[in-house]
A and B are shown apart, each in its own frame.
Chain A
Amino acid sequence: MTRALWLALVIAAVAVAVLAYMPSQLGPYPLGLMIGIMSYVVLATAWAMFSGPTRYISLATVAFFGLGAYTVAVLGDYLPYPLVLACAGLVGLVVALIVGVFTLRLAGVYFVVFTFGLTELIRQVVTWYEVNVTRTLGRYIFLDITTEQIYWQLLGLAVITIGIAFWVRRSRIGLALRVIGDDEVVAAHSGINIPATKIALFGVSSMIMALAGAIQSPRWTYIEPSIVFNPTISFLTVIMALLGGANRLWGPLLGAVPLFLLFEWLSAHFPNHYSIILGLLFIAIVFALPNGVLAFGEGLWQRLRRREAHS
């Protein structure tokens, strides 16, 4: 490994240690904020892992997030907690594989359309199942898990997610994915198995989203489909990843932290106009920063240096 990489690893380890130590210094409200930030760092990084290089925009983040949370609500009383988490991840993976097998062989637009309605579909089917088969809409989660533990789990998941994203970028599958995003014809001719590559990465990304939902579910105590399948979560994930830059490793993180704090402030001060402001902000980002802040900053930096070189 190069020295720069070692240095980066040491800095990252120190940062994680500081973050892990933080709950003892924070009150309940700041800790709640930290959990929210962590959750969106995980979601946005997982989203960008697949949608960044391929440009297949997934609008179904909350479908997987909610499935994870629901799995905990259903199985929480019967299985030991680690096993419940494993099941939640598995549910996310299986659903993603089914969606992927049907849509990722086709042009990107079919995938977008499919994921666009997927949350609503899963919400309606879960509601139907609960009303007609189990006859109870809404479930309680009584698990002996403290807020600190949820935070540490999310921190761990965030580290793993960024680690996977880092590994994917440097591995053959990441290169394959970038070639697919640039030109599918070229990718096919260089012997890349396009559908398998896309489906595998979509599966990993969805599994992480399901785990994020599962880990957070004990915070709600009571859940029902309209709570865990809230489309705003999908929306926020996409806007955060886009703001930071979906093609950069640290882009989603960079977008998630400031935007989460901004949304928190907006929902406290403008609860009724929240989604209008969000929508306008989203459109503004698509217009002004189509490749994210990081790419914009790099472009600006290069232009400045070129000007210096000229003078």
Chain B
Amino acid sequence: MLLSALLTGLVLGGTYALIAMGLTLQYGVARIMNLAYGDFMIAAAFGAFVLFTSLGINPLLGMIAVIPAGFALSYAIYGVMLQPLARRAKHSGRLEVDSILATFGLLFVIQGVALVIFGANFVSYSYLAIPINILGTTLAANRVLALVLALALGAGLYYALTHTRWGTAIRAVAVSPQAAPLVGIDVDRVSRFAFALGGALAASGGVVVSMYLTFSATAGVVFTMKALVVVIMGGVGNLLGALAAGLILGIVETLVATYIDTGLTLAATYLIFLAILVFRPSGLFGRRPS
């Protein structure tokens, strides 16, 4: 029981880590607090759902279509909606307020479109629902695949950010948007790219979620919330922090669901969040503000 709970928690945590990485890119680099993030994810999950149920395309292949779509859509949204706000803002506080409000509106637009097309019901599809035996407990193959995918995408992103030229540019903007132009970095372009990359990660997270969870048009809020908690827990802009925090959150939630009650998982998330706010507001691995 404990081992199976831990494994399930690890799968869930891997997904949380994946989506939190995208959000930490958007918030840490582009300085956009995206409240519509979870709804982006759900849109991608519906995309994978449609591809699978009506065209019979499996979600792994579906990803090849959905992830670039997520990237392109986020790129366009940043250019049309958020870049003007970023240019208008005289200081970062103003941008924060404006971006929160604008993406809050966007949340209702995306959710509304999803409700019109798919209705309010929970949906899921059955892909690779074959039991696999791991260390004496069984786990559905789609969950194992979800974990592998989350880890592969996360590791790939981490490698790209730490070992390539544009990855270095992104990290430079995350550390100091004021100083980055001094070394010839176009902050506008990098921000836009980072926001779009975050959108691509949201899309991949959505596809991963659709493989093993049921979801509905209004489920985005909870995912945004959890991703935000993981981002704050790991420290804003910290990818490895997001990975660790995501895994912790996934395991804690599954343990609460297994041993206490499924209805209290969000309460558990909030308890962790409160503890972080009280003891380590700069994140588990963040430095204390001087």
Residues of A within 8 A of B (CB): 55, 57, 59, 102-103, 106, 108-110, 112-114, 116-117, 120-121, 124-125, 127-128, 131-132, 231, 235, 238, 242, 272-283, 286-287, 290
Beta-carbon contact of B277 and A103 below 8 Å: yes
Q: How far is the CB of A287 from chain B (nearest CB, A)?
A: 7
Beta-carbon contact of B109 and A57 below 8 Å: no
Q: How far is the CB of A44 from chain B (nearest CB, A)?
A: 15
Ranked 5 nearest A-B pairs via Cβ = A282-B105, A279-B108, A279-B109, A276-B112, A128-B263
CA distance A195 to B274 in the complex (A): 17
Q: Given A116-B225, A121-B266 in contact, is the A55-B97 Cβ separation under 8 Å?
A: yes
Q: Given A110-B277, A110-B281 in contact, is the A235-B96 Cβ separation under 8 Å?
A: no
CA distance A127 to B274 in the complex (A): 21
Q: How far is the CB of A247 from chain B (nearest CB, A)?
A: 12
Q: Does B61 contact A (CB under 8 A)?
A: no
Q: Given A112-B33, A114-B273 in contact, is the A286-B266 Cβ separation under 8 Å?
A: no
Beta-carbon contact of A283 and B109 below 8 Å: yes
Beta-carbon contact of B97 and A121 below 8 Å: no
Q: What residues of A have a CB within 8 angstroms of the CB of B100 in the complex?
A: 57, 112
Q: What residues of B have a CB within 8 angstroms of the CB of A109 in the complex?
A: 33, 96
Beta-carbon contact of B105 and A280 below 8 Å: yes
Q: List 20 A-B contacts (CB under 8 A).
A: A55-B97, A106-B281, A108-B96, A110-B277, A112-B33, A117-B228, A117-B270, A127-B263, A128-B261, A235-B108, A273-B116, A274-B112, A276-B108, A276-B113, A279-B110, A281-B105, A282-B108, A283-B102, A286-B105, A287-B102
**Contacting residue for B101 out of A127, A242, A274, CB 8 A:** A242
Most interface-central of A116, A131, A272 (chain B CB within 10 A): A116
- Interface of B, secondary structure class, is helix
**Contacting residue for A128 out of B109, B113, B225, B264, CB 8 A:** B264
Excluding A108-B97, A109-B33, A286-B101, 16 further A-B contacts by CB distance (< 8 Å) are A108-B96, A113-B229, A117-B229, A128-B263, A132-B261, A231-B221, A273-B116, A279-B106, A279-B109, A279-B111, A279-B112, A282-B105, A283-B81, A283-B102, A286-B102, A287-B85
**Contacting residue for B274 out of A102, A116, A272, CB 8 A:** A102
* Nearest neighbor of B264 in chain A, beta-carbon distance: A128
1/0 per residue B73-114: CB within 8 Å of A?
000000001001100000001001110111011111111110
Q: Does B169 contact A (CB under 8 A)?
A: no
CA distance A271 to B46 in the complex (A): 22
Residues of B within 8 A of A (CB): 33, 35, 81, 84-85, 93, 96-98, 100-102, 104-113, 115-116, 221-222, 224-225, 228-229, 232, 261, 263-264, 266-267, 269-270, 273-274, 277-278, 281
Q: Given A109-B33, A116-B35, A128-B264 in contact, is the A283-B105 Cβ separation under 8 Å?
A: yes
CA distance A60 to B277 in the complex (A): 18
Beta-carbon contact of A132 and B263 below 8 Å: yes
Q: What residues of A have a CB within 8 angstroms of the CB of B269 in the complex?
A: 117
CA distance A242 to B33 in the complex (A): 19
CA distance A116 to B228 in the complex (A): 10
Q: How far is the CB of A90 from chain B (nearest CB, A)?
A: 22
Beta-carbon contact of A124 and B263 below 8 Å: yes
Q: How far is the CB of A53 from chain B (nearest CB, A)?
A: 13
Beta-carbon contact of A124 and B266 below 8 Å: yes
Q: What residues of A have a CB within 8 angstroms of the CB of B81 in the complex?
A: 283
Beta-carbon contact of A113 and B228 below 8 Å: yes
Beta-carbon contact of B232 and A110 below 8 Å: yes
Q: How far is the CB of A129 from chain B (nearest CB, A)?
A: 9
Beta-carbon contact of B93 and A117 below 8 Å: no
* Nearest neighbor of B84 in chain A, beta-carbon distance: A287
Q: How far is the CB of B272 from chain A (nearest CB, A)?
A: 12
Q: Given A110-B281, A112-B100, A113-B229 in contact, is the A279-B261 Cβ separation under 8 Å?
A: no
Q: What residues of A have a CB within 8 angstroms of the CB of B229 in the complex?
A: 113, 117
Q: What residues of A have a CB within 8 angstroms of the CB of B115 in the complex?
A: 272, 275
Q: What residues of B have a CB within 8 angstroms of the CB of A112 in the complex?
A: 33, 100
* Nearest neighbor of A183 in chain B, beta-carbon distance: B93
Q: How far is the CB of B257 from chain A (nearest CB, A)?
A: 12
CA distance A120 to B274 in the complex (A): 16
CA distance A112 to B115 in the complex (A): 25
Q: What residues of B have a CB within 8 angstroms of the CB of A283 in the complex?
A: 81, 102, 105-106, 109
CA distance A131 to B81 in the complex (A): 43
Q: How far is the CB of B56 from chain A (nearest CB, A)?
A: 29
Beta-carbon contact of A286 and B98 below 8 Å: yes
CA distance A231 to B102 in the complex (A): 16
CA distance A30 to B85 in the complex (A): 40
CA distance A275 to B39 in the complex (A): 14
CA distance A154 to B104 in the complex (A): 28
Beta-carbon contact of A272 and B116 below 8 Å: yes
* Nearest neighbor of B108 in chain A, beta-carbon distance: A279
Q: What residues of B have a CB within 8 angstroms of the CB of A286 in the complex?
A: 85, 98, 101-102, 105
CA distance A149 to B106 in the complex (A): 38
Beta-carbon contact of A131 and B222 below 8 Å: no
Beta-carbon contact of A235 and B104 below 8 Å: yes
